[in-house]
Structure 1
């Protein structure tokens, strides 16, 4: 926490004593003048009627030259929950939020997202202690203690955070609140990233969800390598680049010690059984395997011939898809492609894999599944990271279902990228005989096995939605819509509009209806017919009447 009591005093001086609900403003079809008054310097905040402003988070031009400026509403420097938007400026590559506020391009500019007016009245008479580090620690300790008391006592807690913000409840009343999160690692089984929105004064919990997204210095040279992979279902495969075989693998080699490591600029494999990056002796290329540095390690497990090699390949092919189709690396850090750690052979995860803060963890499988390292699973988990870096969809409610659905779409997109076709089942290549599929995208309710849709199983239409539904089950709505769009076009075109919407139109708390509007806007960007989108959304019960 970097804000102190002094900033709290400024807030209190700027506020009045009246209490009202804030007014949400849907920016779709609004003129630029609605937000221009919110683009101002911090020194001007107390002089204004409402100490709110807009902060630019990012900007980038798409293939049409449209500059998409993503902004966050703040109140006295703190973020406002659900107060985010995207401004779209045709041929506006040099525009920023500040220059746009003084620009004469209002008629050309469009927006989507939500901002809130009238926050000052709701936030009047806020106790000064709310802004102190002591209160942040008090709230954090209270929430962690409550969590541990709920049958989680043996979990190890780390990476604790408490970040102050303005939260808008269901009646649009504004509250000072902390977003509290931490990593909870059990002795065995799947960890969790519990996340809470907590009133900064009363410590009332407004929302909570699990934000874990489920699945002398040596000089290292980049070298071409290879090895075996696959599993008992798809068979043993060779990563050697020869005709009919899979591509080569990218390793790094220490020329002094003549040791090769299963890592490169994109990925660092970590074997969870010893927490080390696998390495093997590689004195010279292997003439029997295409003059590659051939991985001679044996990490065969549970019917998987080499999950470590499969991890290197899967990371490579997923990034190739994003680069080939969209011209961007799937993840970036400090403006460069991001190296991701992939923890393989986790004995506690079974069929599970998850993404959390720049790393992926993959289970060893179980009696129903081979080790869960495959391009489809890696595409799913990496695409959670892609969503974090773009629309930032909250992993709860409808935005959480959309988050999970986008990752399922990426699963099928990489399948289409590699094979040119889809089967619409989630990860059948990992199943052993007698194993049950996780999900069906074209008919999500198949995982109900005769139960009512939404009864601890997936839904495929809004009529079955309720706000308490697990995001893996509510994802069925957009999953089915995606398959309907892909069947009319193809999977590449369908994923193009979804990715464009994720990058430039969806915001953090986007509803299914708003998400559909974003997909329609993305289809227009590509020059694709919007009737296909309208048809698909109608079939799954998503309202598009408000879409421009």
Structure 2
């Protein structure tokens, strides 16, 4: 489809500074690509003033110097000394450029919603109120932090983020509360418990026995064989849940204490792999994953089948029927890396941010395997499971029967452990891409965690951070995009939206030139990047209306949805369902959309994207397959467009015959299609298009 809108429209002005008292609003700082210098206020002496903030409103979190000399600094936005939740600024400096560029988000106009920065409830009062919700007397690792919080389309307010650890025998938990700092109202609540030179034996009856000092390096202990070397302290809990403090000590030079539940000496495994994780972070990134000494509590509780980061230490059970003692390399790196995430991105353990949190820890487990052995199995917990082969499968997440592999598979009720499969698969695809390995893939994830992810990041926002991290290291950004696109995740640019428009109105993938040009028009119109919001803007944004109308009136669209007698819409509705979901419209949906069209809630120009958006955002179980089918078609479209990259391919994909062949290929994609497995069909379709040109 040839785009004909006039070029030359400019980006909407960036709101620098505030005038008077206004309601709080979140502002995206999109200055990474070509426009950074133009968007910075000239002459402003500080970064804060460039962003319309007061001096002192940005606090340096950390700075990172990359091998190419680029210096990246992450800042936390403050309001009268209080951190603003999910508001961070990242600054980029290169020796060749005098002015820095910026990315991230800031909240402006907070004073209009929060005139007083002192909450009515104190930290002790809010902690006691949160404690009363769980009715437990013994609590550990109590944490309270005051924030400014801005929810979508609501006013900013002061909130407390409260958490503590409940030992509770075999079922420990770590409740989190997001509470209004003035009223004590619980806004959100969730369980954030993140689980999963001496010698001696290690291993278990599943993987066999090995010897530290022979098969692995020696155990790093003190001179008197105490498992405390400054970096790691390993404690024998002896099946207690008490908060013990004394590191385990054994008779030098070999520890054999104690065999349990099929494992030969879990204390040895825990101490070794805990130290190995610390060393991996130091060797690869020059930093420690935790700001304090790592404390590991082995033989925790009686029959505890888990391992967990409590906010201050790792508790490790001996397992029972389902698990051997949970002291494998990947499990321990997983738990330690929950601590890393808590210190950096602070990803909340819920929704998509929770899925990213879990996935990052799974990635760390594979990174440690690669650090120790130069190879990976991409299986989580394979050496400690009794009843199944592995706990999770990063190369094929659905093998465990519950994990998701594509965003269109997700349900609102899904656990963070199961939606983590989406990021896990993207990591596997990236780590095995040409020119990549597990270390490089983990490097960009660590950088994204430190610099770009925020507590409530979505999958798409997280992908943007990984792409930025790859660009900073001069790694292939396009390969990062390809890995995420394969699982239905896309950086919040316009590529995904353009492919949705092509699917809805032409039934085929976009061509590279069209993708580029329509992206420019969307940018010029300052169009929303999400389809539902894009549709909402149709009536108020002339640029959005022009784009939609141009797609709808294109000859391809008119051929796909031919004219009908006045007041008749059955043909249109059936064709849209067939095109987007691969099935005819059922009676209920046919009646629904016919009513919307007749009442003016929809139109022939809008209906294709409205019907598509309705399926993609629906929570009704009967629309799940429609969402899956459409999501897979869009992912395949992105891969198809990316693979049309040779001059002969670009020239060939420009005729009605080529469009028809691409459309026929996309018709074969359905709810069960695995995008990565479909790549040969994509390449075959492109080759056929070139051959027939």
Per the shorter chain, which TM-score range?
0.7 to 0.9
2:564 aligns to what?
none
1:25 aligns with 2:28: yes
2:177 aligned with 1:177, yes or no?
A: no
Pick closer, same or farther for the CA change 1:181–1:481 going to 2, 3 Å: same
Q: 1:25 to 1:471 in 2, by over 3 A?
A: same
Moved more, 315-324 or 16-25: 16-25
| Aligned partner (choices 437, 444, 459) of residue 490 of structure 1 | 437
Q: Deviation per CA, 1:166-187, whole angstroms, max 9, x where unpaired?
A: 111121420122222222221x
For residues 139 and 316 of structure 1, do their structure 2 counterparts lie closer, same or farther at Cα, with a shift above 3 Å needed?
closer
Pairwise CA distance, 1:58: 2.0
Q: Deviations over 1:72-131 (max 9, x none)?
A: 111111111111122121249xxxxxxxxxxx932xx2322210112121224x5x8x53
DSSP 3-state at the match of 1:430 = coil
Q: 2:333 aligns with which of 376, 379, 383?
A: 379
Change (3 A) 1:37 1:174: farther
Give the secondary-structure state (helix, strand or coil) at the position aligned to 1:165: strand
Return closer, same or farther for 1:317/1:343 CA change in 2, 3 Å cut-off.
same
Confirm or deny that 1:505 pairs with 2:465: no
Task: Please state which structure has a larger fraction of its residues in helix.
Answer: 2
Change (3 A) 1:446 1:157: same
Residue equivalent to 2:113: 122
> For 1:249, which of 201, 219, 234 is the aligned residue?
219
**Residues 371 and 86 (structure 1), Cα distance of their counterparts in 2 relative to 1, 3 Å cut:** same
User: Does the 8 A contact of 2:26 with 2:105 survive in 1?
Assistant: no
Q: Counterpart in 2 of 1:289?
A: none
> Hey, what does 1:315 align to over in structure 2?
274
Q: 1:299 to 1:194 in 2, by over 3 A?
A: same
In structure 2, which of residues 295, 305, 308 is the aligned counterpart of residue 354 of structure 1? 308
CA 485–90 in structure 1, closer or farther in 2 if over 3 Å, else same: same
Note the 1:416-455 alignment, pairs <5 A. 416-432=370-386, 434-435=387-388, 437-448=390-401
Query: Displacement, 1:491?
Result: 1.8
- Tell me the distance in 1 between the aligned counterparts of 2:163 and 2:31: 32
Number of the residue aligned with 1:201: 182
Partner of 1:369: 323
- 1:454 aligns with none
Q: Name the CA distance, whole Å, in 2 between partners of 1:347 and 1:136.
A: 31
**Shift of the alpha carbon at 1:70?**
1.3
SS at match of 1:55: strand
CA contact (8 A) 2:22 2:109 kept: no
Partners of 1:35 and 1:447 in 2: how far apart? Answer: 57
Unpaired runs of 5+ residues, structure 1, are 1-14, 42-47, 93-103, 216-223, 255-259, 283-292, 449-456
Aligned to 1:469: 414
Structure-2 change in CA distance of 1:19 and 1:496 (3 Å): closer
Find the partner of 1:143 among 130, 134, 156: 130
In 2, distance between residues paired with 1:505 and 1:18? 30
Equivalent of 2:78, from 61, 74, 79? 74
Cα contact 2:141–2:310 (8 A) shared by 1? no
- Cα gap change, 1:170/1:464 in structure 2, threshold over 3 Å: closer, same or farther? farther
Question: Of residues 318, 324, 346 in structure 1, which corresponds to 2:283?
Answer: 324
Shift of 1:189: 1.7
Matched residue, 1:265: 230
Distance in 2 between residues matched to 1:475 and 1:64, nearest whole Å: 32
In structure 2, the residue matched to 1:285 is none
Shift, 1:38, TM fit: 7.4
Measured in 1, the distance between the counterparts of 2:429 and 2:198 equals: 40
Could you report, residue by residue, the CA deviation over 1:514-534 in whole angstroms, capped at 9, with x for unpaired residues?
221221222223332222212
- SS at 1:81 equivalent: strand
SS at 1:202 equivalent? coil
1:447 positional shift: 2.4
Question: Is the 1:21–1:173 Cα contact (8 Å) retained in structure 2?
Answer: yes
Q: 1:23 to 1:175 in 2, by over 3 A?
A: same
Higher strand share: 1
Aligned partner (choices 200, 208, 213) of residue 235 of structure 1: 208
**2:423 pairs with 1:458:** no
Show the counterpart of 1:131: 119
The alignment status of 1:105 with 2:98, answered yes or no, reads yes
Partner-residue secondary structure (3-state), 1:409: helix
**2:172 alignment partner in structure 1:** 191
8 Å CA contact 1:270, 1:342 repeated in 2: yes
2:366 counterpart SS class: helix
Q: Distance in 1 between matches of 2:494 and 2:75?
A: 21
Looking at structure 1, the residues matched to 102 and 350 of structure 2 have their Cα atoms a distance apart, in angstroms, of 24
Q: Tell me, which stretches of 5 or more residues in structure 2 are unaligned?
A: 1-17, 496-693
> Aligned partners of 2:390 and 2:42: how far apart in 1?
49
Larger Rg: 2
Give the RMSD, CA atoms, in angstroms. 3.0
Post-superposition CA distance 1:179-229 (Å, at most 9, x none): 22222221x1232221211112232222222233224xxxxxxxx211111
Query: 1:342 Cα shift?
Result: 0.8
SS at match of 1:190: coil
The answer to whether the 8 A contact 1:23-1:117 is kept is yes
Residues 46-93 of structure 1: CA distance to partner in whole angstroms, max 9, x if unpaired? Answer: xx997982122222312222222111111111111111122121249x
Q: 1:51 to 1:165 in 2, by over 3 A?
A: farther
Give the TM-score of the pair, scaled to structure 1: 0.77
Within 2, Cα distance between the matches of 1:36 and 1:366?
Answer: 63
Q: Which whole-Å CA distance do the structure 2 matches of 1:20 and 1:503 have between them? A: 30
CA 281–429 in structure 1, closer or farther in 2 if over 3 Å, else same: closer
Q: Distance in 1 between matches of 2:217 and 2:179?
A: 49
Aligned equivalent of 2:586: none
